[in-house]
Chains A and B, each alone.
Chain A
């Protein structure tokens, strides 16, 4: 079945850029998502990218997709302490009914 892998931790200084990486196995995935989860909260949709795109930029967020390598990344520019959270990569399954999530990357931002 579909599998999504992420590195578990990332630590950066305030003002630096953060890059969170994700790999997935199903090349037929059409939509790929990034969600943010703060402690004790649900998931907040950050952005998504369609599989025929290489890059999408949304304010401080840049998503890069390498479909050949099945690699997705999320870059956060000028990282702030409020960006500290768990970031989940998710891909839509073949049936288009379910999101398959990675285990999440914990981003820690120090001032």
Chain B
């Protein structure tokens, strides 16, 4: 079975631009979460979506937004890019958003570089 897939693999943008990252969950998984991993740090939670609804949001500015589609895939959008947005963006999928028994499986990530 295919795991979590993300596109693109790498992306280079300049300050002030906008970016859209894409994620396809494992087949049968209905929940998608997004994390930001800055070099040398652990991943930081950005959003969780389940059945197209936002179920959780981390401490990120409104420049970050996301959505989930009827096929459970998801997009993460970041507007007005800053140098500090350079990071590995990880998508994780899980069966549902109940959390306690719901293991999150991660994709390979999208490496975003902001110049």
Interfacial residues, chain A to chain B (CB-CB below 8 A)? 4, 30-31, 33, 35, 41-45, 48, 88, 90, 92-93, 95-104
B16 at the interface (CB under 8 A from A): no
* Nearest CB of chain A from residue B21's CB, rounded to whole Å: 13
CB neighbours (8 Å) of B103 from chain A are 33, 45, 48
Within 83-115 of B, Cβ neighbours of A (below 8 Å) are at: 90, 92, 97-109
CB neighbours (8 Å) of B55 from chain A are 97
Instruction: Taking A4-B42, A42-B106, A98-B48 as given, write out 14 further A-B residue pairs in contact, using a Cβ cutoff of 8 Å, ordered by the A residue number.
Output: A41-B109, A42-B4, A42-B90, A43-B43, A43-B92, A44-B106, A45-B104, A95-B56, A96-B102, A98-B45, A99-B33, A101-B42, A101-B44, A103-B40
| CB pair A103 B45 closer than 8 Å | no
Interface residues on B, range: 20 to 34
Q: Can you show 9 pairs from A to B with CB atoms below 8 A apart?
A: A4-B42, A33-B103, A42-B109, A45-B103, A48-B103, A96-B100, A99-B33, A101-B43, A101-B44
| CB pair B109 A99 closer than 8 Å | no
| CB pair A99 B104 closer than 8 Å | yes
Closest-by-CB residue of B relative to A41 is: B108
CB neighbours (8 Å) of B105 from chain A are 45
| CB pair A103 B42 closer than 8 Å | yes
